Structure 1
């Protein structure tokens, strides 16, 4: 076969990406389709091959720190298209992008058109310079490139019709809320209990409500908005690491030598198929237990108290002196996996069944739905002004998580057609 010139091949790959994203339901609007067919994203990452630049579901990492952690990237086309659809950008809009590298700002510029304005901001001069060069090379002159800590937004060009955050945020600072208009949209990959979803928020009275949520992964925020997970060893177990996003249990000493107690084991009867989205399951479990975290183990050094999890990490539930983690057993022929629970503590059998019942409730009531209703209130909002099943307190905000009642769920299923979800695959073995 004759080799195509690079630009012809880039256009071919670009169109192939868009075709895939239309087929899987990510791209649904003509504007997003046209923008993604036009912008030559490969010019922003000249160090990457064309195949890598146009990988539909993989980001191109453009910068790492001294520890090998990713500090900047050009997001996968799927993720970019997902957020652009969430944002609902219209011609003439004024849009702020938080976190930059170039191509996404160009997509936004295409969507707002010549009568609109785009501002893109990054705390790091390197990706900002990369974006500036790319936008200049490709002719997008209506984009303001700013180097600043985006914790404060960019007040100079506010108010915005939409703010699109392209970095992983642990909280929503007041400036972001203040700088988008009453009819505006805030798109942000927000981490709750270690689980990141890109949420589409709109304003409702004194708070925000999410109108969409999709599983995603982003490079974490730097600067004032950075938030490190708290890491601790399970007391008495040097080879078992626990990672907490919202803080460890109030008294970790209650878990001293918890693995020396008898282990209770139960299988939930809840199976998931390969490629089935399980994002709502993870969020439901995280919201139903007093303390939720993730566990990683060293398989070569563990004592055998932790049984095979079928996974390099496990979801963990903690309640006082009780400790439980999830396991999976796979059916290779059916391409499914069943969830189980191993529990320790003075009432381990009861705790194991309690966690297993959370899985069963999810399967019976919530499986296949969009997940919970997420609302964001300012920090300091009294409990009696917040509705929800669980409140997560952060620095700037109080996040309410509400799960539909049986009647509300039935009504929802009757009146709307659920969109194709994006979710995590089965945990890796």
Structure 2
């Protein structure tokens, strides 16, 4: 990289920090300092500088033979949002699930010399690449581990914070076991076909309760915890209905609709539509929901409504 390129990168990085402030993503001095320090472009070799420092631009790192993204560097905006959700402090021990290098470097800047960052990924190529980028940028003290993140990294536990940078369908028991009693997990969790980055903290009863959440999009989790994508479906007998959407050219947004099949298609479609309307009346824009995660090991009875069954437990969504 030439001197001119280095100067251009420094300028673009400062602009990105300013944009993230304006978007309300950066809220703390520690996160601002980390983003202003770590050279994001060096973790995206080959990408144009303008792309590397675009606040809302994710960069695909690896694709499969069909062109599907297997790993990516998330947009700086969502990375910063998750860092702020995590509330990381100097001296903390942090586990990052899903390695790219850049986010781990941000974590290292925030926890400082007294803290410890461990990043884990199941893909050997991604681990090798992340390790090389971290070493070349002076972050060789970060532990880069090749493993199935379903089991966490018990050797470096317990962790004050666990940040998941891949779309997860469930929360494995190992993550809870390796989290300190007053720790926090920030995870892009898929609920009924929609992924939200949720900041969970321990509820004192063996489960987790949300502190904040917001919409996001991530490359799906790989390994033992992976699962296929789906959409909410209402079924009755030989009929089923599912939600769809289409662009509205007049508003510039989208309209939600329902498609149904089977002998009772009309009836089941009407029922689905009424469920959507009830949600809009009773919950939409009426305050934040509370999202709880109840592992199978927790001695907390699961309520009968707002329940989403998972492999290792259940999610309960409720509104005030």
Q: TM-score with structure 1 length normalisation?
A: 0.68
Conserved? CA contact 2:206–2:298, under 8 Å: no
Structure 2 CA distance, aligned partners of 1:155 and 1:332? 51
Conserved? CA contact 2:161–2:184, under 8 Å: yes
How many angstroms does 1:57 deviate by? 1.3
Q: Does 1:319 align with 2:233?
A: no
The size of the alignment, in residue pairs, is: 318
- Quote the RMSD (CA, aligned, Å): 2.4
User: Is 1:373 matched up with 2:290?
Assistant: yes
Query: Which residue is equivalent to 1:224?
Result: 224
Counterpart of 1:114 in structure 2 is 113
Contact 2:199 2:210 in 1 (8 A): yes
Deviation at 1:347, TM superposition (A): 5.1
Query: Aligned in 2, Cα 1:49/1:355: closer, same or farther, shift over 3 Å?
Result: same
CA deviation after TM superposition for structure 1 residue 348, in Å: 4.8
1:181 corresponds in structure 2 to 180
Three-state SS of the structure 2 residue aligned to 1:5 is: helix
**How far does residue 108 in structure 1 lie from its aligned partner after superposition?**
0.2
Q: CA, structure 1 residues 334+227, in 2 after alignment: closer, same or farther (shift >3 Å)?
A: closer
Cross-structure match for 2:310: 394
User: Does 1:7 find its partner at 2:6?
Assistant: yes
Contact 2:131 2:140 in 1 (8 A): no
Is contact 2:108–2:117 with CA below 8 Å preserved after alignment?
yes
Show the counterpart of 2:206.
Answer: 206
Runs of at least 5 residues in structure 1 that lack an aligned partner in the other structure: 230-243, 246-285, 287-291, 293-316, 409-429
Q: Tell whether the 8 Å contact from 1:379 to 1:393 is kept in structure 2 after alignment.
A: no
Q: Secondary structure at the match of 1:186?
A: strand
CA distance, structure 2, for counterparts of residue 227 and residue 327 of structure 1: 21
Counterpart position of 1:38: 37
Q: Deviations over 1:11-41 (max 9, x none)?
A: 2222222222221222211111111111101
Distance in 1 between residues matched to 2:102 and 2:189, nearest whole Å: 22
User: CA 1:327/1:144 → structure 2, altered by over 3 Å: closer, same or farther?
Assistant: closer
**Structure 1 residues 162, 41: closer, same or farther in 2, change over 3 A?**
same
> What is residue 88 of structure 1 aligned with on the other side?
87
Give the secondary-structure state (helix, strand or coil) at the position aligned to 1:225: coil
Flag structure 2 segments of 5+ consecutive residues without an equivalent: none
Aligned to 1:142: 141
Distance 2:46 2:180 in 1: 39
Contact 1:381-1:398 at 8 Å conserved across structures = no
Question: Which of these two proteins has the greater Rg computed from alpha carbons?
Answer: 1
Match of 1:357 in 2: 274
> Relative to 1, partners in 2 of residues 1:49 and 1:222: Cα closer, same or farther, differing over 3 Å?
same
Q: Deviation at 1:146? A: 1.1
1:207-258 C-alpha deviation (Å, 9 max, x unpaired): 11122111111111222112224xxxxxxxxxxxxxx36xxxxxxxxxxxxx
Q: Is the Cα contact below 8 Å between 2:152 and 2:178 reproduced in 1?
A: yes
Aligned to 2:168: 169
Per the alignment, in what secondary structure is the counterpart of residue 226 of structure 1? coil
Q: Deviations over 1:302-349 (max 9, x none)?
A: xxxxxxxxxxxxxxx433344334566765444455444454555555
- 1:248-327 mapped onto 2 (5 Å cutoff): 286=232, 292=233, 317-326=234-243
Question: 1:194 and 1:336, CA in 2 relative to 1: closer, same or farther beyond 3 A?
Answer: closer
Aligned counterpart, 1:232: none
**Contact 1:173/1:396, CA 8 A, preserved across alignment:** yes
**Shift in Å, 1:192:** 2.2
8 Å Cα contact 1:379/1:394 also seen in 2? no
Q: Relative to 1, partners in 2 of residues 1:347 and 1:380: Cα closer, same or farther, differing over 3 Å?
A: farther
C-alpha distance after superposition, 1:27-83 (max 9, x if no partner) = 211111111111101101112111121121121111112222211111110111111
Structure 2 CA distance for partners of 1:30 and 1:320, relative to 1, 3 Å: farther
> Aligned pair in 2 of structure 1 residues 139, 190: CA closer, same or farther (>3 Å)?
same
User: Is 1:103 paired with 2:102?
Assistant: yes
Distance 1:144 1:363 in 2: 46
- Aligned to 2:174, what secondary structure does the other structure show? helix
1:163 alignment partner, SS class: strand
* Counterparts of 1:166 and 1:116, CA distance in 2: 20
SS in 2 for 1:172: coil
Distance 2:84 2:284 in 1: 24
Deviations 1:382-414 (A, max 9, x none): 8x7123623222221222222x2xxx3xxxxxx
